[in-house]
């Protein structure tokens, strides 16, 4: 005799619980943690490199990099002066709270002020999996096109800040900044935004100051 | 693309609730997913069939209730579905919107024997 049991439970609630544990570990160690998400090639690693190089004398920085394969990105962060850990997801399209939890023991959190988690390059899946970081940051870039907020609403809705990278390319690429920003505003009203170029260094200062103010 | 992780979560939740009621077998699962929740039904079913094998949920049927995205304009009160090209209010072009539905992603109920 079939019997209906009401459940009404968020499907990723287990991940959310683990994310809360990760958050507690960061808090206990006095570490400020950020999760950087973007499509492949938007400039996540470049932003991290510039950030580490600029802040390494003021903050002790750790970096956890998620990639499907290779450790190129963690190597770049390490070269810039961060304590870097690589997670190879082996095909998974995102980091989740479990992967972060298993990577954390490789960092001495008590010796760090800021932990930067670089998520897998993807505009869909990482948005669904909380990691337990304090802030989520989306790196968008001019060559990707101005329609991305409209195509990937889930990603734009869940983040605390949007970094618009490669603004030095604005004169060369058809990109309606006002259209792009309207999409962001509709999905995530009042979200913190930075316009910068990791290549030229233009606009990096407000981003660095924002991070310093939080960490 | 993350349907394996999703299938694992669904299985864990369903088995926990079923065992809490001393059920022997899970026959049906009712999943509510908003159009913005970015999960592919077919792929989820594929992972589900592999994962649930050997559990009390083996052979259970996944039922999907898809909820369309509905937005509300906070300036003029218009309710609308976003078009593929625009999110803004079609009546007054305001950017001040609220997402009323379309982001749900939960297990609503299970049926057990």
Describe chain B by its helix, strand, coil percentages, rounded to 5. 30, 30, 40
Is the pLDDT at A19 greater than 60? The verdict is: yes
For residues A144 and A141, give the distance between their C-alpha atoms in angstroms, rounded to a whole number. 6
- What pTM did the predictor assign? 0.91
pLDDT tens digits along A20-41:
999 999 999 999 999 999 999 9
CATH number at residue B44: 3.30.2320.80
The sign of the dihedral angle between the CA atoms of A205, A206, A212, A213 is: positive
Chain B residues in contact with A6 (beta carbon < 8 A): 108-109
Give me the number of domains chain B comprises: 1
Residue ranges of domains in chain A, CATH in brackets: 13-214 (3.40.50.300)
A125 compared with A188, residue with greater pLDDT: A188
Direct distance between the N- and C-terminal alpha carbons of chain B, in angstroms, rounded to an integer: 32
Amino acid A71: pLDDT: 82
- Tell me the residue range of the domain where B85 lies: 3-112
Cβ of residue B1 closer than 8 Å to a chain A Cβ: yes
Contact A5 B95 (CB under 8 A): no
Extract the tokens encoding A207.
Answer: 């981003």
* Closest chain B C-alpha to A56 CA, distance in angstroms: 35
Extract the tokens encoding A213.
Answer: 């103010």
pLDDT tens digits along B54-103:
999 999 999 999 999 999 999 999 999 998 788 999 999 999 999 999 99
Task: Quote the ipTM score.
Answer: 0.88
The sign of the dihedral angle between the CA atoms of A149, A155, A159, A163 is: negative
Contact at 8 Å (CB) between B18 and A108? no
Contact B107 A94 (CB under 8 A): no
């Amino acid at each position: 005799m079939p019997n209906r049991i009401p459940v009404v439970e968020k499907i990723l609630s287990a991940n959310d619980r683990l994310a809360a544990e990760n958050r507690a570990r960061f808090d206990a160690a006095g570490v400020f943690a950020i999760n950087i998400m973007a499509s492949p090639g938007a400039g996540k690693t470049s932003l991290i490199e510039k950030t580490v190089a600029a802040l390494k004398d003021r903050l002790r920085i750790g970096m956890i990099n998620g990639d499907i394969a290779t450790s190129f990105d963690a190597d770049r962060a390490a070269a810039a002066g961060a304590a870097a850990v690589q997670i190879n997801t082996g095909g998974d399209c995102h980091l989740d709270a479990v992967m972060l939890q298993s990577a954390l023991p490789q960092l001495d959190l008590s010796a760090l002020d800021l932990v930067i988690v670089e998520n897998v390059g993807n505009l869909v899946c990482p948005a669904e999996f909380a990691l337990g970081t304090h802030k989520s940051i989306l790196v968008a870039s001019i060559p990707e096109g101005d329609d991305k907020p409209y195509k990937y609403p889930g990603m734009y809705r869940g983040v605390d800040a949007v970094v618009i990278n490669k603004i030095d390319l604005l004169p060369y690429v058809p990109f309606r900044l006002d259209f792009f920003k309207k999409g962001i505003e509709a999905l995530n009203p009042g979200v913190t935004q930075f316009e910068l170029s990791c290549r030229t260094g233009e606009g990096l200062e407000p981003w660095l100051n924002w991070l310093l103010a939080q960490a | 693309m993350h349907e394996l992780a999703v299938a694992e979560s669904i299985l864990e939740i369903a088995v926990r609730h079923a065992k809490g009621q001393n059920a022997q077998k899970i026959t049906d699962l009712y999943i509510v997913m908003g159009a913005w929740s970015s999960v592919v039904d077919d792929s989820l079913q594929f992972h589900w069939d592999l994962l649930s094998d050997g559990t009390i949920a083996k052979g259970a049927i996944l039922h999907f209730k898809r909820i369309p995205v509905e937005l509300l304009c906070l300036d003029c009160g218009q309710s609308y579905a976003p078009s593929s090209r625009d999110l803004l209010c079609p009546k007054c072009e305001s950017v001040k919107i609220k997402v009323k539905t379309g982001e749900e992603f939960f297990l609503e109920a299970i049926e057990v024997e």
